[in-house]
């Protein structure tokens, strides 16, 4: 059985690491391939949402001692993950000639899984806080 690593920083959270790595891929491999006509729409949305997720996780972790504060950031990060799933699907389907289909699917899977991880993290943290108080 694998020993669980102690979480001492938001950087120790798998969901943070995965969404940070996915953000780098989105910014380097997807956003710049979209046409300039998407500058204020799909490019902007992908850019903002992918960068927001690791930031929200980091901010939420800082407020982990506040049940409502922590949960708000986790909920917001889940919402951004859902936005990424939709935006990546749109980029793939509208601009299939310039956006790599396999890469898009991989990223969609990462953001879908991350949303589920964030939900479980929020639930687990709430249960943990309830047990320890």
* Whether 53 contacts 84, CB under 8 Å: yes
Per-residue pLDDT in tens (0 to 9) along the chain, 133 residues: 556 778 889 999 999 999 999 999 999 999 999 999 999 999 999 999 999 999 999 999 999 888 788 899 999 999 999 999 999 999 999 999 999 999 999 999 999 999 999 999 988 876 655 444 4
With 0.95 as the threshold, say if the pTM is over it: no
Burial of 124 from C-beta contacts in 10 A (0-12 / 13-18 / 19+): exposed
Does domain 11-30+39-128 fall into CATH 1.10.4080.10?
Answer: no
């Amino acid at each position: 059985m694998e020993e669980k690593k102690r979480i001492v920083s938001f950087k120790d959270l798998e969901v943070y690491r995965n969404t940070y790595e996915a953000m780098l891929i989105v910014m380097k491999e997807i956003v710049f391939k979209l046409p300039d006509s998407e500058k204020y729409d799909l490019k902007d949305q992908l850019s903002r949402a992918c960068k927001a997720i690791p930031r929200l996780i980091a901010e939420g972790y800082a407020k982990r001692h506040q049940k409502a504060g922590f949960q708000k950031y986790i909920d917001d990060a889940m919402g951004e993950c859902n936005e990424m799933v939709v935006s990546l699907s749109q980029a793939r389907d509208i601009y299939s000639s310039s956006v790599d289909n396999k890469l898009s699917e991989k990223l969609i899977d990462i953001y879908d899984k991350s949303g589920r991880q964030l939900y479980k993290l929020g639930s687990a943290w709430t249960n943990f806080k309830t047990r320890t108080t």
